[in-house]
Amino acid sequence: MIKVGIVGITGFAGLELLKILLKHRFIQVEYISSRSENGKNLTDIYPQFSNIFDTKIEEIDTEKIKSLDVVFLALPHTISMEIAKNLYGSVRIIDLSADFRLSSVDVYEKWYNKKHTAADLLKKAVYGLPELNKEKIAKSNLIANPGCYATSIILPLSPILDYIDKKSIIADSASGVSGAGRGVKSNLQFCEVNENFKAYSVAKHRHTPEVEEVLSSISDGVKITFSPHLLPLQRGILSTVYAKLNKSIEKDEVFDICKRFYKNEFFVRIKKELPSLNSVRGSNFCDIGIEIDEENNRLIMVSAIDNLIKGASGQAVQNMNIMFNLNEEEGLELLSYYP
């Protein structure tokens, strides 16, 4: 059995990780910890685990973590890097924060307004999007789990970069409230979110450089205008991505290109119809639909993911499976919630 730990168990990502890992046939969750709730029983915070996982939340103890095979860091950015630099080389790390997603210290510090204190690990980290980086993930000791918005934008665009003007890309994405984490914030109170819909961080969201860097590694010179929106829902991301076509192409051709690109990728589904959140919420799938605006020579792609699963914890488990040479789907046979 693979010995697993979760640091940051009380956040939404940590909670989702545990739910998935408890169904996994080849792992044993041996350690859970939190920055703020240590000493409590997990069931004091999440009573749904009663009679299933009645376990005490421990302090963050790097020596205990080093005795594990792999640890998930489900922590805010800047916190993860401090722990990762004390663990690297002793245990395999899957980091769900943004601390190792960007290759440049300067870019990280510009977008996150924080000093990066583990710069030497940036070159050792592997960007953990399994559909693009499987071979590197398998050999890595430090995985940077992708951002949720970034996942929903990179996956539809990756197959078709040669067919579009790479500086014309616009992405409008809408996310459920859980994407902002479990912390108390005034703009996420019920009366602020319920029956409301709004844009935020327009043209300055931190996932922008992540998307540009990953896509530019496939085809140089990608630039994106990104506008995220907040949905009055608990979970899910729907992204609509627009780009000018640089050559004449039919919708069926784009469909075939994407199908071939992801032919061996179980968790990416290319659809004839446009996807909705109902088809992916609660699962590790990314559904992608395609349209072409012939009047304006523009490609339109729509993707749907669950931001807490394919956008975070499910993708992290997918990475773990690859790292330990397991079936990529192990523990992730999750059907979407419907209704």
CB 242 within 8 A of CB 169: yes
Sign of CA dihedral 180, 87, 317, 209: positive
Beta bridge partners of 175: 230, 237
Count of CB atoms within 10 A of residue 327's CB?
A: 12
Name which of 308, 292, 182, 281 is nearest 248 in CA terms: 292
Sign of the dihedral through C-alpha 210, 319, 235, 283: positive
Nearest 10 degrees: Cα torsion 295, 297, 299, 300: -30
Catalytic residue among 148, 191, 258, 286: 148
Alpha carbon distance 318, 314 (integer Å): 6
Distance CA 42, CA 49 (A): 7
* Structural tokens at position 132: 């693009």
**Residues 305, 135, 122, 171, CA torsion sign:** negative
Q: Measure Cα distances from 157 to 28, 51, 89, 261, 272 in Å.
A: 36, 44, 34, 11, 17
Between CA 70 and CA 96 the distance in angstroms is 13
Name which of 7, 16, 26, 69 is nearest 284 in CA terms: 16
Three-state secondary structure string covering 262-318 = CCCCCCEEEECCCCCHHHCCCCCCEEEEEEEEHHHCEEEEEEEECCCHHHHHHHHHH
Does 148 qualify as catalytic in the annotation?
A: yes
Per the document, the length of the chain is: 339
- Kindly list the catalytic residues: 148
